[in-house]
Every structure is written in structure tokens, then in C-alpha cells.
Amino acid sequence: WLLPLRRWAGGRSKAAAESISRADALRASKPDRAIELYERALRDAPEELEALWKLATLLDERKLADRAAGTYRRVLSLAHYLGVAED
């Protein structure tokens, strides 16, 4: 279901897109900084489902289970709200 997400994200803000891009680049080497950048993207564009998904998976990878679980719930809620179908 992430592929339709990319198509939907075409209208994202430039600031959010830049934050996501920088976070993606830092994800492996500086995960704490990447988390901050995904969160910044979400402040700039609260309906940025890709940033929310990437944040959730990174929190999960970092063993931050409570934050990851809450973020996954936000992903599901936002996807439902936006009408993103499960593929």
C-alpha cells in the first residue's frame, strides 16, 4: 500500500520533502537525527503519510516500542482518513 502513498504524496510541501530526504540519508548513520527530521516533516505537513510510516518503522528498529506502536496507530488512522487502500 506504500506505492499509492507515493502517488498521493505528489502535493507535499517542499520543506516536508526536504526533511524526509535528509532523514532517509541519515537513517542508518544518525537514526536519532533522522527521527527529528521525520518529526519536522510531520510538523510541516501533518498528513504526510510517508514520513509517518518511515518514522514508525525507524522507532520500531530503535526498539522504542511504545512510540512505534502509537505511530503505527497514527499511520493506520491517517491512511483510513485519506482513503489509502490496502494493497
Beta carbons of 50 and 9 less than 8 angstroms apart: yes
CA–CA separation, 62 vs 78, rounded Å?
Answer: 23
CA–CA separation, 46 vs 39, rounded Å?
Answer: 9
Beta carbons of 57 and 27 less than 8 angstroms apart: no
3-state DSSP percent of the chain in helix, strand and coil, to 5:
80, 0, 20
pTM of the complete model:
0.83
> Among the listed ranges 39-48, 55-64, 65-74, 75-84, which one has the minimum average pLDDT value?
75-84
Beta carbons of 16 and 45 less than 8 angstroms apart: yes
CA–CA separation, 60 vs 5, rounded Å?
Answer: 20
2-50 residue pLDDT tens? 545 554 455 568 999 999 999 999 999 999 999 999 999 999 999 999 9
